[in-house]
Amino acid sequence: MDTDLLVVGSGFFGLTIAERAADAGLKVTVIDRRSHIGGNAYSEPEPKTGIEVHRYGAHLFHTSNERVWEYVNRFTSFTNYVHRVYSTHNKQTFALPVNLHTINQFFNAAYTPDEARALVKEQAGEFNVENAKNFYEKGIALVGRPLFEAFFAHYTAKQWQTSPEKLSGDIVSRLPVRYNYDNRYFNDKYEGLPVDGYTAWIERMADHPNITVQLNTDFFDSSQPFNKNDMVGQVPIVYTGPIDRYFDYSEGSLSWRTLDFEEEVLDVGDYQGTPVMNYPDADVEFTRIHEFKHFHPERKDSYPDDKTVIMREFSRFASHDDEPYYPVNTPEDRTGLLAYRELAKKEENVFFGGRLGTYQYLDMHMAIGSALSMWDNQISKIAETLKVSQ
Ligand code: FDA
């Protein structure tokens, strides 16, 4: 077999390992069960309009990690896009994260930062964070009933398809409220979108003579090449699929939330004037609408000015057949994860990484950063040993 390392999953975690290993001289095979590389960061032009659509939900790149920033800039340059989100509540549009502008608009006032802080503190006094019984009480204890009910309660209930009284208070430790007019969504040092799109970036990472990519190839399908039965014990494996699936759910299924997307091409130049509009009210079924052309204002000459692409986002619990997006992380999930971690430790020469392999929500920069660490601490050592024995 002409492979020194098998990487299961071509998302950012798997491709970072593959790229580093290929650069160090290893022959790497990357498999993915999907028909494209890039995992959830994959994007493609919508065919009628050419507008770049993020297939698995909006992906905004941001990081304060110097090493990650230097690394990603080897494969792409970034636009100066800065993410901002708005929220339409009760037929009125507000800026998010909740900030002094939101508060003053909401209460029809002109509070100073100290006045707004005092008001929220007074409204939050209804419950105590320490002995709040559920998400509803905790949310009120954090930001007061009016802001909580308007911007957080139903939005979160829609995300979890569970009423705020039935959700655990553990799902939040704080709710974002700013007492100034800063409505930048992220606080990181670096932020932007890949100039020629996510897929061009991802393809450059995989474009190395030592990397072979096999798509439509499921690690658990023993009729396909590079499957688990044939490969474990033969070569080192970096596995970025779901950890519970690897062990055939022997310690139970870990629970995930998934998203459904409803995409529409509209015959209007501009539908909502901004990339992301949240809908926090209970009577609107979806949580938000993305309008993709606004992620790239610098492409205005190549995008049509009489058409746009929007995507409504709906959230629900995932079954085994759904794409797992966000770990639910119940107490049972945490117990199951600990058991799977013990099993993973015993699996010689198999390294579990990424969002699914560690059952952790990771932003792109975190997935890349943790892959670089795994390369430094584990896989590069194997590469050295292999080189010596060759
Ligand atoms: P990822 O899920 O990308 O890749 C895993 C790959 O493994 C997939 O391609 C899958 O097909 C493959 N695989 C699984 N099982 C397999 C099997 N049995 N055989 C073969 N292949 C298998 N981050 C950020 O920085 N900014 C953002 O705005 C967003 N937005 C966002 C929205 C949504 C809806 C989600 C779900 C996620 C984000 N992210 C994000 C997070 C980002 O997508 C995440 O950091 C990366 O996907 C993590 O990369 P991984 O390689 O770990 O997983």
Three-state secondary structure readout of 265-319: EECCCCCCCCCEEECCCCCCCCCEEEEHHHHCHHHCCCCCCCCEEEEEEEEEECC
List active site positions.
174, 178, 257, 288, 313, 361, 363
Does residue 171 carry a pLDDT above 90? Answer: no
User: Which residue's alpha carbon is nearest to atom 46 within ligand 1?
Assistant: 364
Ligand 1 center to 83 CA (angstroms)? 20
Rounded to an integer, the average pLDDT of 223-247 is 96
Question: Burial, 125: exposed, middle or buried (Cβ in 10 Å; 0-12, 13-18, 19+)?
Answer: exposed
Ligand 1 center to 40 CA (angstroms)? 4
Rounded to an integer, the average pLDDT of 180-189 is 96
Confidence of residue 147 (pLDDT cuts 50, 70, 90): very high
Does residue 387 carry a pLDDT above 80? Answer: no
Ligand 1 atom closest to Cα of residue 62? 25
Residue 63 pLDDT:
98
Residue 51 pLDDT:
98
Residue 36 Cβ < 6 Å to ligand 1: no
| Average pLDDT value for the chain | 95
Q: Which helix (H) or strand (E) holds 188?
A: none
User: Which residue's alpha carbon is nearest to atom 21 within ligand 1?
Assistant: 32
Dihedral of CA 142/146/152/156: which sign? Answer: positive
User: Which residue's alpha carbon is nearest to atom 24 within ligand 1?
Assistant: 363
Residue 197 Cβ < 6 Å to ligand 1: no
Confidence of residue 173 (pLDDT cuts 50, 70, 90): confident
Measure the CA dihedral 355/312/61/31, to 10°. 40
pTM of the model: 0.95
Residue 34 pLDDT:
97
Rounded to an integer, the average pLDDT of 126-130 is 90
| Whole-number Å distance between alpha carbons of 83 and 275 | 8
Confidence of residue 331 (pLDDT cuts 50, 70, 90): confident
Measure the CA dihedral 40/42/47/51, to 10°. 100
User: Which residue's alpha carbon is nearest to atom 36 within ligand 1?
Assistant: 325
Yes or no: say if 154 and 148 are a contact pair by the CB < 8 Å rule. no
Q: Which of 322-326, 337-341, 378-382 has the highest mean pLDDT?
A: 337-341
Confidence of residue 123 (pLDDT cuts 50, 70, 90): very high
Does residue 166 carry a pLDDT above 90? Answer: no
341 three-state secondary structure: helix
Residue from 240, 249, 254 to probe ligand 1 pocket by mutation (most atoms less than 8 Å from CB)? 240
Confidence of residue 386 (pLDDT cuts 50, 70, 90): confident
Residue 256 Cβ < 6 Å to ligand 1: no
| Whole-number Å distance between alpha carbons of 387 and 315 | 47
Confidence of residue 389 (pLDDT cuts 50, 70, 90): low
Residue 162 pLDDT:
82
Residue 388 pLDDT:
63
Q: End-to-end distance of the chain based on CA atoms, in angstroms?
A: 14
pLDDT tens string 358-376? 999 999 999 999 999 999 9
Residue 17 Cβ < 6 Å to ligand 1: no
Confidence of residue 390 (pLDDT cuts 50, 70, 90): low
Residue 216 pLDDT:
98
Residues contacting 268, CB < 8 A, separation 6+: 306, 307, 308
Residue 370 Cβ < 6 Å to ligand 1: no
Rounded to an integer, the average pLDDT of 286-303 is 97
Ligand 1 center to 217 CA (angstroms)? 17
> Among 257, 258, 261, 265, which Cα is nearest to 313's?
261
> Among 233, 334, 236, which Cα is nearest to 8's?
236
| Whole-number Å distance between alpha carbons of 39 and 9 | 7
Residue 14 Cβ < 6 Å to ligand 1: yes
Rounded to an integer, the average pLDDT of 258-287 is 97
pLDDT tens string 28-78? 999 999 999 999 999 999 999 999 999 999 999 999 999 999 999 999 999
The two three-digit tokens of residue 235, written as one number: 């070569």
Would the ipTM clear 0.95, i.e. be above it?
A: yes
* Number of Cβ atoms within 10 Å of the Cβ of 189: 11
- Three-state secondary structure string covering 128-152: CCCCCCCHHHHHHHHHCHHHHHHHH
Residue 68 Cβ < 6 Å to ligand 1: no
